[in-house]
Amino acid sequence: MNTQRTFLLNLYLRGVQMRRITLKDIADALGLSVSTVSRALSRKGRISRQTIELVERKARELGYIPNTIAKGLKTRKTNTIGVIIPDITNPIFPGYARGILDAALKQGYQVFILNFDMSKAKEKDAINSLLSSQVEGLILTSTKLSRQELLELRKRGVPFVVVRKDVRLPGTSFVNVDNIYGGYIATKHLLEIGKKKIAFIGSRFSGEPARKRLKGYLKALKERGIDIREDIIVEAESSFDGGYRAIQKIFDRVDGVFAYNDVMAIGVLVFARERGIKLPEELAVIGFDDIPVSSLPIVNLTTIKQPMYEMGQQAFITLMKLMNDEENVFKIWLKPELVIRGTA
């Protein structure tokens, strides 16, 4: 049985209330001074190898966890960052979070991740909570904050990077995917396989990603001299049901669909299969994101892959540069790529 499990079991058997183990607890257990224990754990000052090993062994037995935040109050360095995500249930974000975590681990940083449910009020609360925890920097994902609110955040002296939003604010660094290019290559592919009546099923056209993917869609059509038909540009809820209901309205007028995301595209696929519409001969469908389910044989969705893992890594690398007092402003655009499967 490992040390941590032994420690937890001992607490249970003794009926001891769990609390943070302190340097004093270790010192009392060994009959040493707190200063000696502190020097042993930090390996600073004149102290024997035998004492260091003794203290470290007892610290492990007791389940001691160093309080990095308390250290940070003295050194102004806590080796922690905060990440704010709009919807942790969205299947595009696990890969993104993993990119941040892997990059942070290599640099010895811990990551606090908070969810804000696309609510500006919750986002502000999350920022305040992270700042009160003495994080060294912030990664704001799909932020709802206005330009003025971002300026106010900057005045608080904590470096931050904005991700998945094109921030037109001088001095603000961001990492984003080129949504115009993504919309363009999706529509261009549909045109290249012979489709001419191509619908765009989008979500929240007022939002930046949908607006830019629509712009790429329109660009590809104009290049081919295809007339723009507003009757097959449909705004819908960003969900399976949203895609399903949208294609219901227009399926007899189109031979191709570019959907805002994979979840909506899967709604389109289900409707088409229920109606006996042949894919991709009668209706070709392309999504956006390349979520894990899209590659399953039963789905086999052609899509535009967002480099979410790379986006997470770039977000952390950029934040590290800012935290190290680099004065440059970083504007990083990542290219999505077409993944061809069975639906287009």
Question: 201-230, pLDDT tens digit by residue?
Answer: 998 887 889 999 999 999 999 999 999 999
**Least trusted range by pLDDT, from 38-52, 253-267, 277-291:** 38-52
pLDDT of residue 286 exceeding 70, the answer is: yes
| 281 band by pLDDT with thresholds 50, 70 and 90 | very high
Q: Which two tokens stand for residue 97?
A: 């979070």
Question: Does pLDDT of 326 surpass 90?
Answer: no
**pLDDT of the residue at 107:** 94
∠ CA(119), CA(238), CA(334), 5° rounding? 80
Q: How much is the CA Rg of the chain, to the nearest whole Å? A: 26
Average pLDDT, integer, range 246-275: 98
Fold match between domain 3-66 and domain 179-305: no
CATH 3.40.50.2300 holds for 76-177+309-335: yes
Sign for the CA dihedral angle at 144, 148, 154, 155 comes to negative
The CATH code for residues 3-66 is 1.10.260.40
| Alpha-helical segments (H) within the chain | 3-14, 23-30, 34-42, 49-62, 68-75, 93-106, 120-132, 147-155, 179-192, 208-223, 240-250, 262-274, 308-323
Burial bucket for residue 310 (CB in 10 Å: 0-12, 13-18, 19+): middle
What lies within 8 Å, CB to CB, of 132 at 6+ separation is: none
3-state SS of 140-194 is EECCCCCHHHHHHHHHCCCCEEEECCCCCCCCCEEEEECHHHHHHHHHHHHHHCC
Pick the CATH number of 179-305 from 3.90.550.10, 3.40.50.2300, 1.10.10.10, 3.20.20.110: 3.40.50.2300
Q: Which residue type, as a one-letter code, is found at position 208?
A: E
Domain segments of the chain as ranges: 3-66, 76-177+309-335, 179-305
Identify the pLDDT of residue 2. 54
**pLDDT value, residue 11:** 43
User: For residue range 85-125, what is the model confidence (pLDDT) as tens digits?
Assistant: 999 889 999 999 999 999 999 999 999 999 999 899 999 99
